[in-house]
Structure 1
Amino acid sequence: MPTVPPERARPSEHEPHRHRRMAESFGVDAERYDRARPDYPDAVVERVVAGSPGPEVLDVGCGTGIAARRFRAAGCRVLGVEPDPRMADVARRFGIGVEVATFETWDPAGREFDAVVAGQAWHWIDPAAGAAKAARVLRPGGLLAPFWNVFQFPPDLGEAVAEVCRRAVPGAPFDFRAMTKGAPDGYRALLARAADGIREAGGFGEPEQWRHDWERLYTRDEWLDQMPTQGAFTRLPPDRLAEVLAGVGAAIDEAGGDFTMRYTTVAVIAVRTGTA
């Protein structure tokens, strides 16, 4: 799930693409999502662009177009596919062409692309069906490149935030303690599912993983603005969400009013095989 504690070991979480209500809940406040969510490092975008055979990019689960705008700025021609019309409307305001559909059911109408990317979205897609669809629309030599921003709080603050979340969201399908662990560690299962789906679909070389570490300074208000956009909280009742935000705000105040979040952008990359 996007920029929240990584999926853990409950059986249903091994298939997050089945959580359709959560997957399609981010548009409840699409403007906030676009404003508050972290961007993606230039280094990751540049690496995908450099490895692609051309400029045609398909952004799967493009949301409000945060990643799409990055690729457009790097000289690409980007088309988005997004199941939530509220998110798609925001992306269109930024000039991104978006077709509203789930990727598995989307009709490419014979179009081909040089890269299929997915920022914070591939785990909402059936990994084998998604990879098979990507293989259909990629030119030989094209890249399939799903990627995620994985965060890690400073340890003491992370413990305090995790405790607030555990109290306010009992029984949540996430282990909030993952916020204090090494960032990519909790995503190993997610990355493995993506790679296994690519292998199962066929049509690609052996998938590899990329990672890029970076940091961002957050004020109290900036982090509290982002939290309601995260999958663990998008469907909380208002009173429960207010409890989370109050508790987390108090923890950040106790830590000095701001903090540096460590991010790792992780990607699973596979090259489309075959000849034209």
Structure 2
Amino acid sequence: MTMEIGKVVLKTKSKHTLAAFYSEIIGLKVIADEADKIALGVDNRVLLELIEIKQGKAPKQAKTGLYHTAFLLPSRAELGSFLHHLLESNYPIDGAGDHIYSEALYFRDPDGNGIEVYADRPRNEWQRDELGNLPMATNEVDGDGILMVGAELDWYAAPNDTTIGHIHLQVSHLEDTRQFYQTILGFQVTTEIPSALFFASGDYHHHIGTNIWAGRDLPKMADLETGLAYFSIQVEELDRLEDRLIAYDVAYEKDSDTLITLEDPNGIIIKIATNTKS
């Protein structure tokens, strides 16, 4: 069963402030603007939703939830064009990494939510071990090379083929997280180090990253704290997944024939859907 990340939903004190950032810096378009939320994306596909909680506040300590949302651009040239745009905007960059299978830029939105913008290398260039797993590597990025290939492209907005390539989560327990995402949901572990696990569907490098870099036994976020509200996973059909949830006695709500809502062991809410209306 093929699974992909659908959208990321964030809680914020000011939806318009955050929407302006994702429009001007990331290049997403506003698809819907309602009383308490704004949906943004590309080509009429929602990638990000901002829910306004006027009385919301940032967590005072590390909590489980979002480490970063990773926007996947369709090519290295598009990544170079985006880097030109980012440098011209003078928006602060936290760092960059060459992960062998991808090249990535890292920064934060005005609420402090982590962001990765990246482009994959061709799959025939990915380096795998004898078991098919991918190495954990963060090498220096060839910034000049990326800028050079993107020099002829003008950045007007995120390309229509932009997706959320993966989501990276801050979790409380790695083994409980492994049991949930691998055994119950059916993702494969593609990369593993003592402090992080990376999960994928099919032959991708990862759709979900998880880490305990902020510590173990983190509490989950409170309802009025800003940050990740939930993320969605798109699947082909729900029947087999629902059978596994029942078999492993995992609590869930079936909102309709095409949507299931549940929590992972870290208190992170997930909506699993067979369409883009999650």
- Give the TM-score normalised by structure 1: 0.34
Task: Report the structure, 1 or 2, having the larger helix content.
Answer: 1
Task: Report the structure, 1 or 2, having the larger strand content.
Answer: 2
- Give the TM-score normalised by structure 2: 0.34
